[in-house]
Structures are given as structure tokens and as C-alpha cells.
Structure 1
Amino acid sequence: MESFNNLLLTMDGMLGSAPWFPWVLLGVGLFFTLYLGFPQIRYFGHALKVVRGKYDHSSAPGDTSHFQALSTALSGTVGTGNIGGVGLAIFLGGPAALFWMWVTAFLGMTTKFVEVTLSHKYRERTEDGTMAGGPMYYMEKRLNMKWLAVLFAIATVISSFGTGSLPQVNNIAQAMHDTFGLSKAVTGGVLAVLLGMVIIGGISRIAKVTSTIVPVMAVLYIIGALAVIFANLENIVPSFLSVFSDAFTGSAAAGGFLGASFAYAFNRGVNRGLFSNEAGQGSAPIAHAAARANEPVSEGMVSILEPFIDTIIICTLTGLVILSSGVWTEKHENLFQSADMKIVAGQYTDGNDEHVQELFGFLSNGDSKVEPFDGTIFVYNGSAISDEEFTVIHARSVAENVRYQVGEDLFTGNLEVRGGQLVNQNIEVWGDSLVHSVALTNRAFQRGLFGEYGSLIVTFGILLFAFSTAIAWSYYGDRSMTYLFGPRAVMPYRLVYVIAFFWAAIEDTTVIWNLSAVAIVVMTLPNLFGISVLHREMKSTVNKYWETEAYLSDAQKSEKAKMAAAAHKAE
């Protein structure tokens, strides 16, 4: 598993974590924002009217309402990225990462408007009578690039596991284990059965379930977040100031946090922003393709709301909870994950500025004198008594109060270390270090008005958020399988999807997140290329929508015609 994780890190280094990727993602969003005249601002009010059904047409083709399509798409985006993803972004990039998540969301509102409109325009009805759409359809039917469409569809299937299934249940299982001590295998098994029962019913059942879950989970989470924010009200202004002041300089070291450069905060903020709202990834257009609408622009309008709700509202609340509570700089007792742990030669502390600088360089693959430790650690009754100098680094922080166990028993014996890693992977390492992802958000929610019960908000929030995300992504995957192999391939895909869902509940969290990071980018790049090529068609489609008054409902058109006839008669 360690070798696989290293492979994923290498791939991510060339893709999502590479310096060029955030500029490509933001560049496309900025181009369309300027080219279309800031549609995320000008059309926001109209989008609210569309989703409320003001312009609905009774005879429009499709399988779901505008609201159900929005709920399905939101259930695919509002998930672990809003709880664990924000915690991971701040853990890696500090407060500055939240600023770049906002920028990604603002520009992403336009990107999503474009990708949904174009995908809805070229959707089609499949053999089983349901609507199917997504970037692969405009790539084939408009760009005449069948090869690109196939590449995107394959990437979507992979990403349905890397984004939709694996990290979602992994975070649910971790939260249930931390809060109730429930076995991860039990959690995974129960949820896998429930998942299978929902997705077997197709888009109709998925839309009904998600349109119920999304509003409930949003209200529940917002109440919990506000309880923490009000309890730490004096820290809100400093938290906001740190987000903006660090945006272009990076975040300085604080407490156990070793600091983050501008480049690191920028990259992590954009990367986590994409994971959260998926603008540009091409996933949401698949859900919106099922909406009942004659005009593709009307459904594109609805999608503008997604990054706003997902990131500007929910992720901001999570970020303020974490920053105002102060837990992001504190060390907490936790079980060290091998993929997050490194043993280095020499003794280092985070109270020494020179040590902090060296350790940050080591962890960021920059200039550093720090070297991985090779040797033997002598352990007695769980504590290291070795004469050799070494430091345990976990979760990008200097670990303290480290103890070694085998199950519930304290370990006594020799531990071989090669390249900074324990040779015996059966040894559990516990201690105090920074925490990230869901664990960080979980601890932050305990600093509010509800006290320790605040963790229940996170637990049930992650349960609803992540489970609904897995439901939505199963639909994205089965539409891609339909495109690639026809409707007969859907059932085998659903079976594999459910099995993988169970498997991920007991796997290493860090490996799951790294797999997700690679899958997202592999899916995003073809879509960004496709919508960029069709920028002129997008503009003409939007102009036609307003010029022909296609946004009016049947009743409004009838009323307008009557008024015009009456005016003509009066003349």
C-alpha cells in the first residue's frame, strides 16, 4: 500500500499538485467570466427563479425537475470536501487556502454554467427511455472527437470511485468509529446495502432521495457551525483577517503548524476547491442533463447556484469553525497512519525557528538538511529508549508523547526503520500531533455551544453529506458506462461500485484522498479543453436564450401574446 501511495503522490505531483494545474482551472473560469460578462453575478437572481419553477414548461423533455437536478448535483458536490476537504486544505495551506477556495468557487460558478449548458444542449434519450448527457456527448456530437469523449467517460467511471465512492465512505467510517467506536467494517457493510437499494432504482429514485437529504443535511450542518462560530465570536474577525492577509504571502508557522508558502496555499486551496464544488470537472452536467427543460441555458442558470451553496456558504462555515476554534494549530492524541508518518534523523522541535524552517523544507520537497532515519529503535513498555537521535513526524508536525502498541498492549522490543518508515507495519503508533480532514473538523465542532456533542453534528453531517455524494456519483458512473457500453453495462457497474464502497471503509484515509486527487484531474482536463473550444457557441446560445425569450413559461408566453394582441387591437 505504501508503494501504491507513493505512485499516487508522484502522479498527483505531475497533475493536480503541479504548479500549472491551478492556473489552467482558474484561467478557464476567468476567461468565461470576462467573455460572458460576469454571468455568476448578472444571472444569479434569474437562476433562483428558474430553480423555483417559475419558467417550467409542462411538455419539456426530461426525467427530473430543476430542483431535483440541482439537489442531485449538489449531493454530488456537498460531501467530504465540505467537511474533511476544508480541514485538509487548512491543515496543508493554513488560512490562505480558504481564500483560494473562494476564488475557485467564484470563477467556478461561470465554469459550471458553461459546462452544464453545453452538455444539456447535446443530451440524448437512451434505449431504456431515460435522458443521458454530459461532456462526452458534446465532445462526440459537436467536436467530432469520439476519442476525447471515450477518454472523458473512462475518466468519469474511475473518478466515480476516486471522488464519489471511496473517500466518502472512508470518512463516514472514520467519523462513526471516532464518535461511537463502531467498527469500520460494520459501517461499510450497512451503508453498502443501503446504497445498493437506492441506486438500483435509477435517476428517479436517486432524485427523490437526494432532494430530501440535501435540505436536511444543509440545515443541520449550518446550525452546528453557527454554534461554534458564536461561541468563538471574538476570533471571527482575526480569522477573516488571516485569510486575506496570508492570501498572497502564505501562512506563517503557528503552534504545531509548520507554515505554508504562497505557492503551497494557492495550490491546495484551488485543488480542494475543485474537489468541493467540482466546477470544471464535468460531473454536474451529467445530473443536469436529466432535468426537464427545453432550453439548455435555463439549466445552466440553475448550476450557477451550486458552487455558491457548496463553497461560498458551506465551506466558509467549516473554515471559520476551524480557524476561530484554534484547533488547526493544536496537537491532539491520535493513531498515526503510516502514509502520514515519517521518522527523521536528529532531534527537532517546533519551538526552534531554524528547526521549523528545515522541517518545512523537508516536508515540501524543498531545500533541507533533514534526512530520513535508518536504524533500530529500542522500545520498552511502549516508549522509545534508543540512544540514537530521531524525531517522529506525523501529519506535517513534530509528534509528542509517542507510544508503540500491538493492539491494546504496549510494545517492548526492537523496531527496524528503513528510509524513515517502520519495517514492521503491524505496530500501532500513537501520540500527539496535528490532525486533518474530518478529524480536524470534528474537534473544532466540540469547541462550540454544544461542547463535545458538537462532534455528533459532524458525524451525522458527514454521514448524510458523504452518503448522498456516493449516490450521485453512482449515477455519473452509470451514465458513462451507458455511453461506453450501452444500458446492459449499468448493472455490473453498480455491483462493483457497491463492493468498492464497502472496501474503502476499512482502507487508509491518506491513500484514498491521494487516489481521489489524481482521478479528479484526469477527468477535468478533457472537459476544460472541450468547453474552451466551444466558447463562441456558448456565447451565441446565451444570447439566443435572451433574444427569443425562451426563458418564459408557457403561461407567461400566453399572457404576453394576449397583451400584444390587445395592444394591436387598440391601435
Structure 2
Amino acid sequence: MELLEVINGFLWGPVMLIALLGTGVLFTLRLRFIQVTKLKAIFKQVFSKPTKETEDLGMSPFQSLSTAIAAQVGTGNLAGVATAIAAGGPGAIFWMWISGFFGMGTIFAEAVLGQLFNRSENGELVGGPAYYLRYGLKSKALAGFFAISIVLALGFMGNMVQSNSIALAVNNAFDIPKIIIGIVVAVLAGLILVGGVGRIGSFTEKVVPFMAALYILGGVIILAMNYENILPALKMIVYGAFNPRAATGGFIGATVKETLRYGIARGLFSNEAGMGSTPHAHAVAKVDHPVQQGLVSMLGVIVDTGIVCTITALVILTTGAFETGLTSSELTQQGFYLGFSNFGNFGLYFIAVALFFFAFSTIIGWYFFGELNIKYLFGKKGVKYYRPLVLIGIVVGTLLDVDLVWALADVFNALMVIPNLIALVGLSALVVKSVNGYSFEKGERLDNKKIS
């Protein structure tokens, strides 16, 4: 653990955060603030229908977005936001918003490249960073390195952590044995995963909107009951971004450096911009032009960071939970407990249910991302070994002390970021060329030539 902490301290230090945020700034500038100027086109594209030429493969734009959000909106939205506030003060949320804004530029580029270099193999669409590393950047070594890293980081270790989070929350709220919870989660996941990309897309497009709406509704109800504290909370966020000690009366002894670091880090980890995970979902979307899926992808950051993370932060601040000294998911749970204090332990049950949906949907999304890379490494035959191993890991994960698993997952998360950022910067001209070859007014390409 000590060795892994040293490695992670180096990998996730200032250099990595600057590289992630810098990539977002690069694409924001090169694409002329596309997340602002094309906001209307984003919402229009999400609910568009594919043409006959593309409807036989992959997912619809909405299904691919739901699968991406399933992976993005997870325990990080509950625990990550709380950790940022506990370590960096309320001002960390301001920097989380900033990282989300620039992250929209990064995730747009990832989706466009995913579309440009997707391929049809055995009647299925496949794609992701491994494909644009190999066929775009022409680096078979980096592609293989990325594929191995993401299978280990998300498919196995990450999903063990998610199942452990479900087991802890449900066990604390309803006193159900963890092993029983693990078996139930594995069985439910197996029923979905065995149906392949079609069933995964169908599941996420139904569950993710419900999941997000349920959590947002609970948060909005608490904010409505504490409406007089909303403006002071927003003031703490904005003022605390530049003067964290004064914003909370010195209760949280954070410096501006810590506030900025935790806000940017948790924001990027939550919306996964630049991580190389969400391009897998966007690569298999059925669209007529890569830019169309790039537009769709940016809505995921809006939902994740702009809405869900903001709801979590405001609940923690308006209820006064941030003054309890708690951190991680316990702090968020305390916020909802205090918010629903007139209803007994309802807040505890609410977070247990929300965490179940958040973590379970992340398991489905992360499994899917891992499966695409298993296919890249070993072909379709590798899936029959990968799927049962993931399901076994889900059960085992509920019984483990996950500190070691989390630390290992963090290492491989960092290792998959590095080649992905190299590809994004190296292929940035292709992203710009794609945008220049697309008519946002007509929703179609400006010429009939293949962009790549």
C-alpha cells in the first residue's frame, strides 16, 4: 500500500492534472468554445434518429449517451464531491465546474475520434482509444498498453470497488449480508451483460434517466426546504475558490492550492473527460457524422458535473453537513439524513438506493468498456472468459477491504490516461478538420469525402 501510494502520488500529481486540464483548454480554443456556441445543437442531436444506412449496427445516440453517463455518474458523484469539499473547502466546487467546462472540449474530441476510427467486426461496431491509437496514431504498442490498462482498471478492479460500495450501503441501511448482496448484483448484471450491446444499450437508456431523476428530485426537495441557505452556499463556493479560509470562517483550513487541486481532480475523475473510457460508448453510436456524436458526448458532462455533482454539493452545504468533519460518501449520506431529518432515517435509505443504482449502472458501463478492449486484444472469443471473471469479481469485491483494489485501480487509471492524451493531442488536427467539414445548421457533412 505504501508503494502504491507513492506511485499514485506521482501519477496523479500536478503534471497529470495540468495535462488533463490543458488538453481541455487546447480543444476549447481550437474548436472556438464549441461547448458554448453549439449548445442548442447538443440538445437537438441527442434525440435525433439514425438514417437507414446506420441503423443496423451499434446503439442510438441516446443509448450511447446513457451508457457513457452510466459510467460517469457513479459513486464519485456522491463520494468524490464530498471528498473535494472536505479536503479543499466549498471553493473546490467552483474549480470542479471549471474542469467540467473545459472537459467538454476533451470529451467532444474523444467521441469524434472514436467515431472516425470505429470498425465493423463480426457484424458489430467496435471502437475506442485502442482503435484510434492503432489506426490513427499508428501505434500498436500504445493501443495494446491502453487496452490492458482499462480492462484491469475498470473491468476488474473498478467493478469490484463498485460492488463493495453497493454492499456497504445496502448492508448499513437494511442489514442484508454482503455475500447475498454480491450474488444478487452479479446475477442481475449477468442477465444484462449476456444480451450483448443491444441489451446494455436498452438497459442504460431506461435506467440512467430514472436514476439521475430520482437523485436530482431528492436533492431538489432538500434544497427547497433549505432555500434560504442556497445563496449563502453559492457565495461560499465562489468566494471560497479564491479565499477558502474566510469562506467558512476558518472551519476548513484549506489553501487556494488545495482547493484548486481537489476541485479539478475530482471534477475530471467524475466526468472522466480525457480518461479514455467514454469514447467506447460514443464510438458505437449510429450517427451519420462524427461531430454529431461529439455533440452528444458533451451532454454527459453537463449531467454529471453541472447537475448531479452540483446537487450533491449544495445539499452538503445547505444542510450544514460539511461542518460535521465527515468525508467521502458518509458526508453525502449525512447531508441527505439532515435534509430529511423530519422523516427519520429516510435519508439513509434514500442514499442506499441511489448508491445502488449509481454503482450498478457504472458496473454495466465499465464492463462494456472492458469488453470492447477484450475484443481488441483477443477477438470475440475472449468475451466468454472475460464475462464470468467479471461476475466472480463482483461477488468477491463485496467481501474485500477495497483500499488495495482502489489503489491498484488508480494506478491503471493513470496508465490508461497517458496514451489517450497522447492520441488526443496528436490527432487534434483531425478533430478540427471534422468540425470544419460539418454544417451545424443543416446537420450534415459539407462534402461527401471520408474525413479520415
Shorter-chain TM-score bucket reads over 0.9
2:394 alignment partner, SS class: helix
Structure 1 residue aligned with 2:450: none
Structure 1 residue aligned with 2:177: 183
The letter of the residue matching 1:14 is F
Q: Can you list the C-alpha shifts for 1:494-533, whole angstroms capped at 9, x where unaligned?
A: 1111111122222235445434433322211211111111
Structure 1 portions without partners, runs of 5+ = 331-433, 553-571
Match of 2:125 among 122, 131, 134: 131
**Contact residue 154 and residue 409 of structure 2 kept, 8 A:** no
Q: How does 1:364-403 map to 2 (within 5 A)?
A: none
1:476 alignment partner, SS class: helix
Distance 2:118 2:441 in 1: 21
Structure 2 residue aligned with 1:464: 357
Distance 1:69 1:515 in 2: 28
Q: How far apart are 1:254 and its partner, in Å? A: 6.3
**Contact residue 236 and residue 247 of structure 2 kept, 8 A:** no
Q: 1:265 to 1:135 in 2, by over 3 A?
A: same
1:447 alignment partner, SS class: helix
Distance 1:227 1:162 in 2: 36
The letter of the residue matching 1:437 is S
Mapped pair 1:488 → 2:389: no
Structure 2 portions without partners, runs of 5+ = 446-452
2:438 alignment partner, SS class: helix
Distance 1:71 1:496 in 2: 25
Greater fraction helix: 2
Q: Can you list the C-alpha shifts for 1:75-133, whole angstroms capped at 9, x where unaligned?
A: 11111111122122222222122112111111111110001101111100113x11100
Q: How does 1:23-62 map to 2 (within 5 A)?
A: 23-53=18-48, 56-60=50-54, 62=57
1:542 alignment partner, SS class: helix
Distance 1:301 1:163 in 2: 31
**Contact residue 156 and residue 390 of structure 2 kept, 8 A:** no
Structure 1 residue aligned with 2:242: 248
Structure 2 residue aligned with 1:224: 218
Pick which of 535-544 and 230-239 moved more.
230-239
Say how many residue pairs are matched: 443
Q: How far apart are 1:256 and its partner, in Å? A: 11
Q: How far apart are 1:224 and its partner, in Å? A: 0.7
Q: How far apart are 1:259 and its partner, in Å? A: 2.2
Higher relative contact order (CA 8 A, sep 6+): 2
Match of 1:165 among 153, 159, 164: 159
Q: 1:257 to 1:207 in 2, by over 3 A?
A: farther
Q: 1:230 to 1:122 in 2, by over 3 A?
A: same
Mapped pair 1:501 → 2:391: no
Q: How far apart are 1:31 and its partner, in Å? A: 1.1
Structure 1 residue aligned with 2:79: 84
Match of 1:445 among 327, 331, 336: 336
2:373 alignment partner, SS class: helix
Distance 1:143 1:519 in 2: 21
The letter of the residue matching 1:102 is W
Structure 2 residue aligned with 1:106: 101
Structure 2 residue aligned with 1:7: 3
Distance 1:166 1:88 in 2: 21
2:444 alignment partner, SS class: coil
Q: How far apart are 1:170 and its partner, in Å? A: 1.9
Q: How does 1:203-242 map to 2 (within 5 A)?
A: 203-242=197-236
The letter of the residue matching 2:339 is G
Structure 1 residue aligned with 2:61: 66
Distance 2:245 2:155 in 1: 33
So what's the TM-score if we normalise by structure 2? 0.93
Q: Can you list the C-alpha shifts for 1:112-160, whole angstroms capped at 9, x where unaligned?
A: 0001101111100113x11100011111112111111111111111221
Q: How does 1:346-365 map to 2 (within 5 A)?
A: none
Mapped pair 1:527 → 2:420: yes
So what's the TM-score if we normalise by structure 1? 0.74
Structure 2 residue aligned with 1:312: 306
Q: Which has the larger radius of gyration?
A: 1
Q: 1:502 to 1:260 in 2, by over 3 A?
A: farther
